[in-house]
Amino acid sequence: MIFFWDRPRIYDIRLSSCFSLGQVEWAKQHHIEHVFGNFLTGDFKPLTPLPGPPDQLAMPGPTPPTLSLLAWGTGKAKETLKTPDKVLKAWWDGNFSLEFREFVEAARQNHELDVKITDDSSTGRPTKRPRLTEAEGAKVETQAETEVKDAKIESKDLSDLPTLCYEAKVTANPKLVVKVTIGQGVFLENTGTSDESIKAGVVLCGYYKGKFWSPDSTSEAPSEKADVTIRLTSNLDHVMLNSKYQPLGDIIKAKRQLTPADAHVSYHELIDSPTPTDASAFKLEPKKMTVYFKVADFPAVKTEEGEGEAKLMIPAAHLAGAIPEKVWRDSQLAEIVWAVKWPAVAAKGLQPIRPMVMTSKEFVIKSKTAVVIAKPNV
């Protein structure tokens, strides 16, 4: 429905929803011709906006709210808006991880996002340093020396850990829990009420069943996540023989005393490299064929209901395969150790059976804290 008034020049165009497309196009064309005709005859006048209400009648707008920070919770610590854990788990290490991380980092820089603020930092007041007695001062100095000596051992409060993906209890000590977070980070938590002293050679987690294969015999390319390289370098490497964590050099030395011809390692070439302190020292060079252990996909994880969000549990015997081999190789506190055996045909040499992840040095975990095994990329 269209109405035209020439005096005053007001154009009121109302198109009913019941009009067909042809009728709407006709009304549009008729309106254009009408305006164009007035323009040619000189009768066209541009539309002028209606006058606004007087200033004294205009109501002032509300005060803009402060939305730069939204804090909630109780206690000393306050948190800003937080990226949901479910979103981080699904996207941080997924197929589009690079794009997602750039998006989150940009949001964190432009907004108060994923920031924990304490009362001291928010008020700007420095924390007072308590006075120490002579004995307490000596204890503090001793602790400082220990921290400098173990500079590579980094501890974290449980509240400072990134978003959790998987966790598993250490079989040898149920008080210890291996936690895998976003960014392929690995932490070892002490859930006990006292400090735990960890020795070298403690099994943290293992790999699920798999098979040995070589890319030289197939067109398949190695997978960074699913394949573990059989890599032994010298007599100083540790292996598991008959459930005993021991140096590879001791095993080869004992075999040489029985059957020297059989004292070698499968898939490697043994080169004697005696040193002033160890005449039986040797190095290992991989043969032409590179061999991998391909880990099969472990079964669906079991969800256990706890406080808050459900936790994803994976048996400790399978957890190592949740992150790539390189993460374990770069760790300062853990290493990939091969379980080995002497085969029935001894001429084949010492054979690897299955990889596992074990501690590589001694360290202490304080109660209700976690030690960084692999630093997360967050």
Q: Is the pLDDT reported for residue 17 higher than 60? A: no
- pLDDT level of residue 25 (50, 70, 90 thresholds): confident
254, 341 in Cβ contact below 8 A? no
How confident is the model over 359-364, as a mean pLDDT?
Answer: 93
Q: Give the pLDDT confidence score for residue 300 in this predicted structure.
A: 52
Report the Cα 153 to chain-centroid distance in Å.
19
Alpha-carbon distance of 231 to 318, in angstroms, equals: 20
Nearest to 157 by CA among 372, 337, 3, 348: 372
Alpha-carbon distance of 90 to 100, in angstroms, equals: 10
If one counts every other C-beta atom within 10 angstroms of the C-beta of residue 290, the result is 14
The residue extents of the domains of the chain are 2-41, 81-111, 188-374
Q: What is the largest CA-CA distance in the chain?
A: 119
φ and ψ at 21, to 5 degrees? -65, -35
Q: Is the pLDDT reported for residue 54 higher than 60? A: yes
Alpha-carbon distance of 41 to 25, in angstroms, equals: 25
Q: Is the pLDDT reported for residue 56 higher than 70? A: no
Please report, for residues 61, 128, 141, 146, 366, the alpha-carbon distance to residue 138 in angstroms, rounded to integers and kept in the order given.
64, 20, 5, 13, 20
Q: Is the pLDDT reported for residue 323 higher than 70? A: yes
As a 3-state breakdown, the chain gives helix, strand, coil percent values, each rounded to 5, of 25, 30, 45
Burial label for 102, CB within 10 Å (0-12, 13-18, 19+), is exposed
How confident is the model over 72-92, as a mean pLDDT?
Answer: 72
Preceding peptide of 247 cis, ω within 30°: no
Percent of the chain past pLDDT 70, that is, above it, reads 74
How confident is the model over 310-331, as a mean pLDDT?
Answer: 83
Q: What is the pLDDT of residues 83-121, one digit of tens each?
A: 888 888 888 988 788 899 999 999 888 887 887 765 544
369, 196 in Cβ contact below 8 A? no
Q: Is the pLDDT reported for residue 234 higher than 80? A: yes
Lowest average pLDDT, out of 105-119, 142-156, 183-197, goes to 142-156
- pLDDT level of residue 355 (50, 70, 90 thresholds): very high
Report the Cα 358 to chain-centroid distance in Å.
20
* Mean pLDDT comparison of 35-49, 111-125, 170-184, highest-scoring range: 170-184
263, 342 in Cβ contact below 8 A? no
Write the DSSP symbol of residue 234.
B
Alpha helices (H) in the chain, listed in sequence order:
21-41, 85-91, 97-110, 119-123, 134-149, 248-258, 325-329
Q: Give the pLDDT confidence score for residue 309 in this predicted structure.
A: 59
Better-scored residue on pLDDT, 39 or 78: 39
Please report, for residues 70, 104, 112, 165, 342, the alpha-carbon distance to residue 87 in angstroms, rounded to integers and kept in the order given.
20, 11, 18, 11, 48
369, 156 in Cβ contact below 8 A? yes
Q: Give the pLDDT confidence score for residue 57 in this predicted structure.
A: 62
The predicted model scores a pTM of: 0.66
Residues 6+ apart with CB under 8 A from 219: none
- pLDDT level of residue 351 (50, 70, 90 thresholds): very high
Alpha-carbon distance of 288 to 282, in angstroms, equals: 19
Q: Is the pLDDT reported for residue 144 higher than 70? A: no
Q: Give the pLDDT confidence score for residue 129 in this predicted structure.
A: 45
Q: Give the pLDDT confidence score for residue 353 in this predicted structure.
A: 92
Burial label for 295, CB within 10 Å (0-12, 13-18, 19+), is buried
Q: Give the pLDDT confidence score for residue 277 in this predicted structure.
A: 92
Q: Give the pLDDT confidence score for residue 146 in this predicted structure.
A: 42
Q: Is the pLDDT reported for residue 151 higher than 50? A: no
Q: Give the pLDDT confidence score for residue 90 in this predicted structure.
A: 85
Alpha-carbon distance of 25 to 21, in angstroms, equals: 6
Q: Is the pLDDT reported for residue 236 higher than 90? A: yes
Q: Give the pLDDT confidence score for residue 5 in this predicted structure.
A: 45
Q: What is the pLDDT of residues 239-277, one digit of tens each?
A: 999 999 999 999 999 999 999 989 999 999 999 999 999
Q: Give the pLDDT confidence score for residue 125 in this predicted structure.
A: 42
How confident is the model over 209-238, as a mean pLDDT?
Answer: 85
Alpha-carbon distance of 57 to 60, in angstroms, equals: 9
Alpha-carbon distance of 176 to 188, in angstroms, equals: 7
Alpha-carbon radius of gyration of the chain:
35
Q: Is the pLDDT reported for residue 345 higher than 50? A: yes
Q: Is the pLDDT reported for residue 149 higher than 60? A: no
Alpha-carbon distance of 265 to 348, in angstroms, equals: 8
